[in-house]
Amino acid sequence: MSAKKEKHSWLSFGMLKPLDWLLLAVPAAFAIRYVPAWKNETLLFIITGIAIIPLAGWMGRATEHLSARAGHGIGGLLNATFGNAAELIIALMALAKGLTGVVKASITGSIIGNILLVVGASMLAGGMRFTRQTFNQTAARISATLLSLAAIGLIIPTIFHLAADRQPGGWSPQAERNLSMAIAAVLFITYIFWLVFTLITHKELFVGQGSGKGGRGGKEDPAWSVSRAITILVLATILVAFMSEFLVGSVESARESLGLTEVFVGVIIVAIIGNAAEHSTAVLFALKDKMDLSLGIAIGSSLQIALFVTPVLLFASYLFGPPMNLEFSLPEIAAVALAVWIVAEISGDGECNWLEGVQLLSVYLIICILFFFLPEPAHVQNGKSGTASRSAISQTNPEPSQPRRSHL
Amino acid sequence: MSAKKEKHSWLSFGMLKPLDWLLLAVPAAFAIRYVPAWKNETLLFIITGIAIIPLAGWMGRATEHLSARAGHGIGGLLNATFGNAAELIIALMALAKGLTGVVKASITGSIIGNILLVVGASMLAGGMRFTRQTFNQTAARISATLLSLAAIGLIIPTIFHLAADRQPGGWSPQAERNLSMAIAAVLFITYIFWLVFTLITHKELFVGQGSGKGGRGGKEDPAWSVSRAITILVLATILVAFMSEFLVGSVESARESLGLTEVFVGVIIVAIIGNAAEHSTAVLFALKDKMDLSLGIAIGSSLQIALFVTPVLLFASYLFGPPMNLEFSLPEIAAVALAVWIVAEISGDGECNWLEGVQLLSVYLIICILFFFLPEPAHVQNGKSGTASRSAISQTNPEPSQPRRSHL
Amino acid sequence: MSAKKEKHSWLSFGMLKPLDWLLLAVPAAFAIRYVPAWKNETLLFIITGIAIIPLAGWMGRATEHLSARAGHGIGGLLNATFGNAAELIIALMALAKGLTGVVKASITGSIIGNILLVVGASMLAGGMRFTRQTFNQTAARISATLLSLAAIGLIIPTIFHLAADRQPGGWSPQAERNLSMAIAAVLFITYIFWLVFTLITHKELFVGQGSGKGGRGGKEDPAWSVSRAITILVLATILVAFMSEFLVGSVESARESLGLTEVFVGVIIVAIIGNAAEHSTAVLFALKDKMDLSLGIAIGSSLQIALFVTPVLLFASYLFGPPMNLEFSLPEIAAVALAVWIVAEISGDGECNWLEGVQLLSVYLIICILFFFLPEPAHVQNGKSGTASRSAISQTNPEPSQPRRSHL
């Protein structure tokens, strides 16, 4: 395809992918939101969810093309920072509305979804085609160890709460927030070191991953001009922001009418929506026996969520919305720890097969079953945010001093 | 040995192994059970325990010979399904009498016993003779990862209980059973995929293990005819059924007179009895530098218990006896998780030495010490099954709605 | 340097290392302790802490030279037994004063400090110079697995307490002590097997580590005579004993004036003081691309603490001071388990880079943050040792029957 043809037809059919038919959901979402006769919270929730999927995909592709243009170093940095921009925007919206429980649940869900669902589906798909697939063992082990570090960072605040609670007056929300802030800083700085490692000192270990982590197959499209990439990125970001605002605004009502708990929505649904575009790319790479790229997308995305997005959200929460902390509920911690454990075992030997994909999907299924059966936390049931302080760890950790504005 | 000679002397001395002298315990057991003057519960417990050991061995050998006749695929399936038939029968008997605590403890004990005691003894024995023994690293890693998946499946129900309990009305026995049923289904389906993997798609990784997993050295006996194998299998099964019925019937009294807790009996004693035959075979293989076969027997048996026998017991419990769930007590979960952790570490590099055998045996010893010191759960002490619901997790998880029929 | 020159100038400047200027703290400590006008508990704490660092270094070098003289077998045994003599002396002093909380905290801190701080600093320092450093994978894996065994041994007593506590009268301090004694015996015996493995049957795996584990660079000094080595060792030991007595005697007051908790002092400060000499040696070896020696010092030291020093302390506690048990607090257990988990992952592939060093240091930092924020346990705050029995697990596990003699 020549550049001439692209100039003539800016949004040529050659650029559209099958997922893009879902873009029809975007105008539909606006309609449902603003036309009083059609206003339906549950439908809005579903439609905006659907709309975000292709938009996230476009944001990713634009980032990828921009990275390719910018060169390896800056490009990798771009990918590493904006690779999860869609999840970040959704989470910021939820944070602004005080839905810290949903924010934490979606962090958990993104991490688990990437390393279990995406990697599992990729290994299974690739394993149907190839008896045995290999990938760079050193890169995989370092990524898995960083995931363990991230899991440790998410476990320690809850251990602090459990231990400090045994002393009267030993635990306070302020102490929890300070501890969380300190840990978030450590995770963030470690992420920067990770970037230095993958983009500068040991980039040869990650060379197969295009212009940096989270390559979304940029090599398969003809290169976009910088202006096109930026325009598409800005447009997509604005639309994702609107869709996120609608989505989060309708979460409460939709949740009740669909009979799902807040944690289930965060862990399963928000996570899948935000990651869907990456999901398909990772699976496609696996089918082409490029497990390095596949794992790079999935595990790299998890690392970005845990070591970059989570600290950024925590810092941002001090600017607007109730300050967040890193205290996750017991099921969330268990899910993350067990997921990281299994993934470290599977990726440790540099090869995989279809059964390992099945194993990861089985663990994901078991975790979904757990979150499906878990009841709604009291503070959400009653609308009384103070009730949660009765129990040391509630289902999702509320900020007891701030009432949830989205409660009825 | 020719087939003619075998026809003449059906149970020739050539077939007897040293363990078989214990078969004398079988008639002794019948005598003690039915002759009023000799009836002694504690003695019955001990004698039937001894009697099951060689019977389980015969069941295994018959299954092995049947598998060899049936060919690799069906043979492997036979081994995989009936390899732990003795444990399954004992557990079904206990289930029928409502002793779900003993059932769960014996599941835990079989898993731990196989991967710590059997593997440890094998590595130690082999390590006395060989400086370094190797085994197929890929097969070992996949097995270890599946064990981790099984451990996750056994941990999640307890996490559900802990988390759901924080909401008034958040937890109910019904929810626990549904969750357990769903997880059991996932484990069972994963087991079927495991069979497809080891018997069909990747069988070359497991080729060294005779006609399938759990090879009991079938190659060393001359092949039995199908009719002989089936006859011996049926006879042995019937006798094991009787022995199990006596054993389980006498567990309560024997336990009290010997001063052992129900959990200790299940975890240590029942597990050792059911696995003794496999134990000796695995150690013998290790002494012959056939660690692949040795590990295949031990770890394969654990996987069968966790992914096949446990779901089958759960499904069966809905047919007779109180419905079971997958909620294990904290010490049981800790024991399984720690055992799986250590085994994954040791088997991950494809080689072993005598010190690794010592390490596994040390962990097993520490776990035995733990279960030795643990007190009897309240509901067993008082005979009031309802008491257990006071605490979120009891020592062994009772089914509060069903009184234990074997209580005095 | 010839032997003649050494005879003439016994403590020649050629033997002094930079750390040795800290030896000036020794006379200073005596002065502060015994001159009434200068007596200041906080200053004494700091000065004795500084004084122990070079003294521990001299003890280590004397042990190393003695080992080199004694030959590989006995030498290795010497190193393995007295390698952590400084920590043992400090802990015995604390035990004699009834400060079991500090003793346990310093055990935890030594283990974590060695495997996270020392290994992390070594990998980081070496990684600045070398892109990739390798080490014997088998030796590293066996050491990591033994660490896991040690962690299991330290976790089980707390699990016993949690589980047994659910029964009224199920838990008793006596049972906890018996369980701890049994487990300590298992750990101690495993340590002896470890010595047989590293010094006799598989010593070729550890040949690079001089005359045994914990080589402190003995090859770089000219060999000392046996009399010199013994004299220096005895002198240094006597001085360390005095310094420890001063240090432990001043811990309570210094702690309060510096605003640190007892656990923080034990985990962070005592551990760093006792290990400082080893720390510098390990980092130096890493800079010379001798990761085997570096890891041997650090991980070997942790193993010695966990499998040798801890059981010895427990046995010794029955001779003087209140009998100790192996029940550690929840944060201590979590810290040890997570540290062992991360180290096993990092050392499993036989190679390392600077980012893995950063990861270990990040985990160490997160653990420090946790212990920094943890409040002082009630029993220490109030001086009432009985208060702690209110909660199943207190911050540090007190011996409720013995009041702390060092309380004001």
B137-180 residue pLDDT tens: 888 888 999 999 999 999 999 999 988 887 777 788 888 999 99
* Model confidence band, residue C181 (pLDDT cutoffs 50, 70, 90): very high
More confident residue, C214 or C33: C33
DSSP lists the bridge partners of residue A134 as A351
Overall residue count recorded for chain A in this entry:
408
Structure tokens at C321: 């001071």
Question: In angstroms, what separates the C-alpha of C376 from chain A's closest C-alpha?
Answer: 8
Residue B217 has pLDDT above 90, yes or no: no
> A320 burial class (0-12, 13-18, 19+ CB within 10 angstroms)?
exposed
**Preferred mutation among A159, A204, A336, A342 to probe C, highest tally of C CBs within 10 A:** A159
Span C158-169, mean pLDDT? Answer: 84
What phi, psi does C361 have (nearest 5°)? -65, -35
Q: Is C366 on the interface with A (CB under 8 A)?
A: yes
Name the neighbours of A, counting chains with at least 3 Cβ pairs within 8 A.
Answer: B, C
Question: In angstroms, what separates the C-alpha of A268 from chain C's closest C-alpha?
Answer: 27
CB contact under 8 A, B375 and C182: no
- In this prediction, residue B383 carries a pLDDT of 41
Each residue's pLDDT tens digit, B255-304: 778 888 878 887 887 778 777 777 777 888 888 888 888 888 888 889 99
Give the C-alpha separation, A93 to B315, whole Å: 45
Each residue's pLDDT tens digit, A307-365: 999 999 999 998 877 889 999 988 999 999 999 999 898 888 888 999 999 999 999 99
Cβ within 8 Å of residue A57, ≥6 positions away? A17, A19, A20, A216, A276, A277
Give the C-alpha separation, A56 to A278, whole Å: 9
Residue B400 has pLDDT above 50, yes or no: no
Which of B73-77, B102-106, C4-8 has the lowest average pLDDT?
Answer: C4-8
- In this prediction, residue C147 carries a pLDDT of 93
- In this prediction, residue A210 carries a pLDDT of 43
Contacts of C377 in chain A (CB under 8 A): 166-167
- Whose tokens are 């079938």? That residue is B218
Cβ within 8 Å of residue B146, ≥6 positions away? A359, B190, B194, B303, B307
pTM of the model: 0.83
Q: How far apart are the first and last CA of chain B?
A: 54
User: CB of B95 within 8 A of CB of B313?
Assistant: yes
> C169 burial class (0-12, 13-18, 19+ CB within 10 angstroms)?
exposed
Summary mean pLDDT of chain C: 79
Q: Is A393 on the interface with B (CB under 8 A)?
A: yes
A341, A354, A358 ranked by CB distance to B190: nearest: A358
Q: If DSSP codes are grouped into helix, strand and coil, which group holds residue A40?
A: coil
Which ipTM value was assigned to this complex?
0.81
Span B209-233, mean pLDDT? Answer: 63
- In this prediction, residue A15 carries a pLDDT of 54
- In this prediction, residue C204 carries a pLDDT of 80
Q: Between the ranges A4-18, A239-253, A366-380, C332-346, where is the mean pLDDT highest?
A: C332-346
Give the C-alpha separation, C24 to C4, whole Å: 28
Radius of gyration of chain B (CA): 21
- In this prediction, residue C72 carries a pLDDT of 63
- In this prediction, residue C382 carries a pLDDT of 44
CB pairs under 8 A between A and B: 101
| Cα angle, residue A329 at apex, residues A324 and A333 outer, rounded to 5° | 105
Q: Is C370 on the interface with A (CB under 8 A)?
A: yes
Using the 8-state DSSP alphabet, how is residue A349 labeled? Answer: T
Give the C-alpha separation, A292 to A325, whole Å: 34
Residue A55 has pLDDT above 90, yes or no: no
User: CB of C266 within 8 A of CB of C102?
Assistant: yes
Name the neighbours of C, counting chains with at least 3 Cβ pairs within 8 A.
Answer: A, B
- In this prediction, residue C207 carries a pLDDT of 63
Q: Is C241 on the interface with A (CB under 8 A)?
A: no
3 state SS for chain C = CCHHHHHHCCCCCCCCCHHHHHHHHHHHHHHHHHCHHHCCHHHHHHHHHHHHHHHHHHHHHHHHHHHHHHCHHHHHHHHHHHCCHHHHHHHHHHHHCCCHHHHHHHHHHHHHHHHHHHHHHHHHHHHHHCCCEECCHHHHHHHHHHHHHHHHHHHHHHHHHHHHCCCCCCCCHHHHHHHHHHHHHHHHHHHHHHHHHHHHHCHHHHCCCCCCCCCCCHHHCCCCCHHHHHHHHHHHHHHHHHHHHHHHHHHHHHHHHHCCCHHHHHHHHHHHHHHHHHHHHHHHHHHCCCHHHHHHHHHHHHHHHHHHHHHHHHHHHCCCCCCCCCCCCHHHHHHHHHHHHHHHHHHCCCEECHHHHHHHHHHHHHHHHHHHHCCCCHHHHHCCHHHHHHCCCCCCCCCCCCCCCCCC
Question: In angstroms, what separates the C-alpha of C400 from chain B's closest C-alpha?
Answer: 21
More confident residue, C311 or A213: C311
- Nearest partner of A239 among A21, A29, A97, A92, judged by Cα: A29
User: CB of C126 within 8 A of CB of C286?
Assistant: yes
DSSP lists the bridge partners of residue C345 as none
Contacts of A170 in chain C (CB under 8 A): 374-375
Residue A277 has pLDDT above 80, yes or no: no
Taking each helix axis from N to C end, the angle separating B291-304 and B330-347, rounded to the nearest 10 degrees, works out to: 150
Question: In angstroms, what separates the C-alpha of A328 from chain C's closest C-alpha?
Answer: 16
- In this prediction, residue B30 carries a pLDDT of 84
Give the C-alpha separation, C125 to C282, whole Å: 10
Contacts of A358 in chain B (CB under 8 A): 190, 193
- In this prediction, residue B170 carries a pLDDT of 76
- In this prediction, residue B128 carries a pLDDT of 92
Contacts of B376 in chain C (CB under 8 A): 167
Give the C-alpha separation, C380 to C394, whole Å: 11
Locate the chain C residue with the closest alpha carbon to A151: C338
* Model confidence band, residue C265 (pLDDT cutoffs 50, 70, 90): confident
What phi, psi does B116 have (nearest 5°)? -105, -55
Using the 8-state DSSP alphabet, how is residue B383 labeled? Answer: S
Give the C-alpha separation, B397 to B332, whole Å: 11
User: CB of A102 within 8 A of CB of A265?
Assistant: yes
Convert B319-356 to b/e letters by CB count within 10 Å (16 or more is b).
eebbbbbbbbbbbbbbbbbbbbbbbbbbbbbbbbbbbb
Residue A269 has pLDDT above 70, yes or no: yes
Structure tokens at B114: 């196989």
Taking each helix axis from N to C end, the angle separating B310-317 and B85-96, rounded to the nearest 10 degrees, works out to: 30
